[in-house]
Structure 1
């Protein structure tokens, strides 16, 4: 390998920049030059860079007057124009470091396999405690040089396309960089950059060694909400798909499923940031709505083969926050909340109408967790307590109550009592849901109850229920008891019921 060109952006990094600089100075391969860019820091970062540059001519101190606004000649695209196409370019964050054998081992790897881009693993370090958290690396070296290799091993090397650092890029590859394919992002920009270079490389290698230390800081930009964070997961998904189609010709089923997982993990992180961010309730709701009702997210929850307990890692905190909001009407947000819930719980559309779910949000919010968990028994209990204190006749609520009874296979006698209660107390629901027809269909299962009208069933409900339970003696006793004090509207049907019941008892 020829010369390595290091490049670092540093903004207010006075506490960590020396660590990064010392790691490069200590490299066992000393054939490097380093452009250290002070991005308009307001602390001592610039002075530290100047001090090191004064002692080592390979360190070139640069400074921007404004953060992220490059002075002429300070961008990486301009810097590589001064170097040969066979040289290599390497990024290093101002709070990270390379292990001393990084250049030596990576250079040997590149030379042995004639690589355009080489990547290696890295250690995750807790910035506060300096403890090792985890190591990301492959079990063996991986060389990607054909469409088949890029396709087959996508799930292995994708993790190494997420960051710009930990890699050496051949200058000739960087010069083919197509900025028109790269949307403007802050969070996710590293991944877009690396994917573009993997696309332009003929030979990519992943070295099965960890040669970089990545210091994890809870205050980093990845834990903050910016203007592009909401859309970044979609853009990254689109870019990865375009990469596979161009590089491999198609997206295999394995890679399709893997991309679903990547997208899910991405929105999981984004949702976590949104929920922790200091925003108004309405602004937070809008952000959740943008992420969770997007077409990609809806398709994900409809298609993904994740177990419910894993999906609940995302759904539960979202649902808890949504149900915990008490100002649906004031913020005019109930409809957005309904759309979110329908998106992340696809089964709801088969069980409850949007208007009904909205009603529950506004009037019975404690019912929502039961609905989402399909806890039908708890739903039934809540409905029973609700109707004891409210004179409400809403057909959609009534329909959901009936569906809950059916879902738990309530005995026919209990279902009948529900129908009769609806017929008596909820005339609108009774008419719209055709309760009389439901009662008639239920009775067809029992020969003794053929041709019994709904009105007669209402009068002799105890008798009918005992017939459904199979206790004909109790049914006959209830029939006689009720007959003594009741005016019978349909004598013919009444007589037929009595005759059929008597005949059935004689045959026992």
Structure 2
């Protein structure tokens, strides 16, 4: 094909035409056969895959801004037909995997996505493709984590992207052992820690407490321990005492009196001014 041929020229109508042709073919089979067989559906999805592959190739080579390309890619991935294609397992898996991988690579290489302005669009498309990156060239860990958090927002199924989310924070000792649910719930704090803005993270924790933020019961203890660890690392004695008191009070409320006593003894050894009121 020649670059200047009609088939290689981008037009917005091209994006709309691919799903229309797919639906028209389905409607034709329904009218003639009363149903679309599994074999016919596989064939139609294969045709549709080839169609959007050509459309994406032309789009990415078009003389458009990166932002315009991202929005038009989003149009493709938002269509019901592409959503169904992403879940389709009837054949051509390698072709689909390769196409999605190439598109994802292009998306993640764009500065507009890395800088944040196109991250929402990227997250939506990656969620559709089922791609959860843990390492991206040129990206900081904080950016990868934030992207995964946004993908998770769109794919709430149990376990989706959890391992990748934990992996993206694994380099920080402060975040070791925390599960994906905790990391996502406190994403602003986690992001600050990954940005090595530990004092900011500590103040974010204290602000949540001061504002009476509703925190899931299963996260409260780890939340206070994170505050303790940040205080200790920053050598902020007053903050450490504050979190130690909260931790001991929580243990007492949970009837874990032996642990509370041990924490009190440990706390007074290092900070003699600790007193539980």
The answer to whether the 8 Å contact 1:436/1:454 transfers is no
Q: Show CA shifts across 1:149-205 (max 9, x none).
A: xxxxxxxxxxxxxxxxxxxxxxxxxxxxxxxxxxxxxxxxxxxxxxxxxxxxxxxxx
Give the match for residue 326 of structure 1: 111
Mapping of residues 81-92 of structure 1, within 5 Å: none
Closer, same or farther: CA 252–239 of 1 in aligned 2, 3 Å: same
From 449, 455, 459, the equivalent of 2:247 is: 455
Kindly state the Cα deviation for residue 237 of structure 1 after the two structures are TM-superposed. 0.5
Kindly state the Cα deviation for residue 332 of structure 1 after the two structures are TM-superposed. 6.2
Give the TM-score of the pair, scaled to structure 2: 0.54
Structure 2: tracts of 5 or more residues without a match:
133-138, 152-159, 176-180, 191-200, 224-244
Tell me whether 1:432 sits opposite 2:219 in the alignment. no
Mapping of residues 78-477 of structure 1, within 5 Å: 217=1, 219=3, 220-301=5-86, 303-305=87-89, 311-327=96-112, 333-345=118-130, 364-367=142-145, 374=161, 375-381=164-170, 384=172, 398-399=184-185, 426-429=205-208, 431-434=212-215, 438-439=219-220, 454-456=246-248
The answer to whether the 8 Å contact 1:245/1:251 transfers is yes
Closer, same or farther: CA 291–458 of 1 in aligned 2, 3 Å: same
Q: Show CA shifts across 1:394-432 (max 9, x none).
A: x99651659x9xxxxxxxxxxxxxxxxx88851355543
More helix by proportion, 1 or 2? 2
Kindly state the Cα deviation for residue 227 of structure 1 after the two structures are TM-superposed. 4.6
Kindly state the Cα deviation for residue 248 of structure 1 after the two structures are TM-superposed. 1.7
Structure 1: tracts of 5 or more residues without a match:
1-216, 348-360, 388-394, 405-421, 443-452, 468-474, 491-508
Give the TM-score of the pair, scaled to structure 1: 0.33
The structure with the larger Rg is 1
SS of alignment partner, residue 286 of structure 1: helix
Q: Show CA shifts across 1:460-488 (max 9, x none).
A: xxxx9xx8xxxxxxx97x87554534434
Closer, same or farther: CA 254–368 of 1 in aligned 2, 3 Å: farther
Kindly state the Cα deviation for residue 286 of structure 1 after the two structures are TM-superposed. 2.8
The answer to whether the 8 Å contact 1:224/1:277 transfers is yes
More strand by proportion, 1 or 2? 1
The answer to whether the 8 Å contact 1:244/1:250 transfers is yes
Mapping of residues 14-25 of structure 1, within 5 Å: none
State the distance in 2 between where 1:249 and 1:479 align: 75
The answer to whether the 8 Å contact 2:119/2:147 transfers is no
Kindly state the Cα deviation for residue 456 of structure 1 after the two structures are TM-superposed. 0.8
The answer to whether the 8 Å contact 1:264/1:300 transfers is yes
The answer to whether the 8 Å contact 1:298/1:343 transfers is yes
State the distance in 1 between where 2:131 and 2:89 align: 13
Give the match for residue 489 of structure 1: 276
Kindly state the Cα deviation for residue 380 of structure 1 after the two structures are TM-superposed. 1.6
State the distance in 2 between where 1:331 and 1:378 align: 21
The answer to whether the 8 Å contact 1:225/1:273 transfers is yes
SS of alignment partner, residue 426 of structure 1: helix
